Amino acid sequence: MYRGMYIARDPYSSDLHSLIRENYRQVFFNKENIGVHLPYHLEREFKKYLRCGNLAFGMARFHCSLCQKDKLVAFSCKGRTLCPSCTGRRMSDTAKHLIEEVIPEVPTRQWVLSMPYVHRFLLARNPDFLRKALAIFHRTLSRHYEYKARIHNLKNPKAGAITVVQRFGGALNLNVHFHTIYIDGVFYENNFGDEVFFEIVPTHEEVVQLNGTLKKRLMRLLEKFEQVENDYNDQSDFQAQSVQNRDENFQLPLKIGKVWDPPFREFVGKRCSYDDGFSLHANVKILAHQRAELERLCRYILRGPIAKERITYEASGKVRLQLKTPYSDGTTHLQFTPDQFIKRIIALIPPPRQNLIRYIGVFGARHKKRSKITSLACPKKVKTKKKVYRTPWSELLKYVFKYEVSNCDHCGTKLTLVATITSQNICQKILNHLGQPANEVIIRSPRAPPEADYFDQAVGDF
């Protein structure tokens, strides 16, 4: 039975949209004023977000054949960093794909690797260093699983993993680290030639040993890159400041709710290891039948950096960020100036065409056993010849929120697509005819430096 009515989001009225709309151009202008030109893809990310979900910049028109009513749906920007709606859509879509198409019904384990500041900086700005660091990480863990399998005399053991490269921390600081979902064991060939899963559970001592091995190999990799690493792009300053959670004046963001200064304590836990900035966690395990929990874990590691509900743009001009988890010293919020906040976001934007999801081992595209093993993810699902790379918006909303957005809001009849409208002039006329607000994105012009005003005044006096 059809229930409720679909209410489209209004990004124009959100604090995040107001903050970006009023302040982002000033940051780019200040850099251009001193001769620094940031890469074009950074400003493109901001422009795309400001138009996302706005009917004035394009829409799709759907029609109900029963009650003769129309529904207008705005286009999305498909951004990877700034837009909470599009990053949420990408998160849900990819998690659904992993559960239904990739990860078989076997026990899985999450491995999380974090590294010191100097490694994080190179991971953020050097794709070659990121690729080789990931290769070391995967090779070390895969060989551990395969070595344990050979102890049990298993034939041709094969490990598999899916890694998500996360670029952000809880304070919107640049913190590149690896979230990896490993099958907690190996697939091997039995006497009949079939692929069979064998579970292997790592011990706490093995996790500590693996962290030491990773530290030694990653430090050796860092030494090779430090000898040739001398070129910096225009985004590097923002990234270097964000990695250390500081601004250009080397100041930390203002902590709100802080009560005291607790002493530094290393994280101690089962199957967790910390060694001079190298942190390896492997204590989160999902059993084979816990598919809902596995999908929740996939969404967690695929989430975007920005949640608009946690951002408040105050009347005083300050930006307040609510922490997902309060600090041990009592801090619940961090306060930034708009300039500091925009620079934090710029540091988080990844380079274009850089893949942040990597498939390793039996999940790799070129592995000869991939199709046989991934078919165990959902054996009852009927495979179609036509490959669908993106789940449609309507199906994804129904899957996540149990809501039929493709039905009419008044009678529940299936809607049909009439047209897609991309002309801003036509969109303006339609919205004016319907009496709906046409929110034009008016970006606040940057303010010139005070030295320029003083120079003009001085020249006029002579």
pLDDT higher than 70, residue 310: yes
Contacts for 109 with CB less than 8 Å, ≥ 6 apart: 181, 182, 184, 202, 282, 284, 285, 286
Give the mean model confidence (pLDDT) for residues 301-310.
Answer: 93
Residue 281 CA to residue 45 CA, distance in Å, equals 33
Higher-confidence position of 462 and 328: 328
What pLDDT is stored for residue 3 in this prediction?
Answer: 45
Mean pLDDT of 50-67: 87
Q: Residue with structure tokens 């005291």?
A: 260
Cα 188 to chain centroid, rounded: 34
Tell me, what DSSP letter sits at residue 383?
Answer: P
Instruction: Determine the pLDDT at residue 448.
Output: 62
Give the residue carrying structure tokens 């910390």: 274
Q: Are strands 59-63 and 70-74 parallel, antiparallel or unpaired?
A: antiparallel
pLDDT for position 462: 38
**DSSP-derived 3-state class of residue 433:** helix
Q: What is the mean pLDDT of the chain?
A: 86
Query: Angle of helix 393-401 relative to helix 84-97, nearest 10 degrees?
Result: 80
Whether 222 shows a pLDDT value over 50: the answer reads yes
Cβ neighbours of 71 (radius 10 Å) = 20
Average pLDDT, stretch 430-439? 81
* Distance separating alpha carbons of residues 329 and 323, to the nearest angstrom: 13
Nearest to residue 115, comparing CAs of 172, 165, 171?
165
Residue 112 pLDDT? 97
52-66, 132-146, 307-321: least confident range: 52-66
> What share of the chain has pLDDT > 70, as a percent?
88
The distance of Cα 427 from the centroid of its chain, to the nearest Å, equals 31
pLDDT above 50 for 292: yes
Mean pLDDT of 68-73: 85
The full DSSP string for 180-206 is EEEESEEEEE-TTS-EEEEE----HHH
pLDDT of 389: 62
Interatomic CA distance for residues 153 and 261, integer angstroms: 53
Per-residue pLDDT band for 39 (boundaries 50, 70, 90) equals confident
Return all residues near 127 (Cβ < 8 A) that are at least 6 apart: 351, 354
pLDDT confidence of 221, banded at 50, 70, 90?
A: very high
Would you state the pLDDT for residue 388? 62
Q: What is the pTM of this model?
A: 0.87
Kindly state the tokens that stand for 267.
């994280």
Q: What is the per-residue pLDDT for 20?
A: 93
> Where in 200-309 does DSSP place strands (E)?
254-256, 272-275, 278-286
**Residue 235: band (very low, low, confident or very high) from pLDDT cuts 50, 70, 90:** low
> 60 or 199: which carries more pLDDT confidence?
199
Residue pair 234/38 in contact (Cβ under 8 Å)? The answer is yes
**Beta bridge pairs of residue 72:** 61
Angle between helices 236-243 and 117-125 (to 10 degrees): 150
Q: State the residue for tokens 């802080």.
A: 258
- Chain centre distance of CA 395: 22
Of 230 and 310, the one with more pLDDT = 310
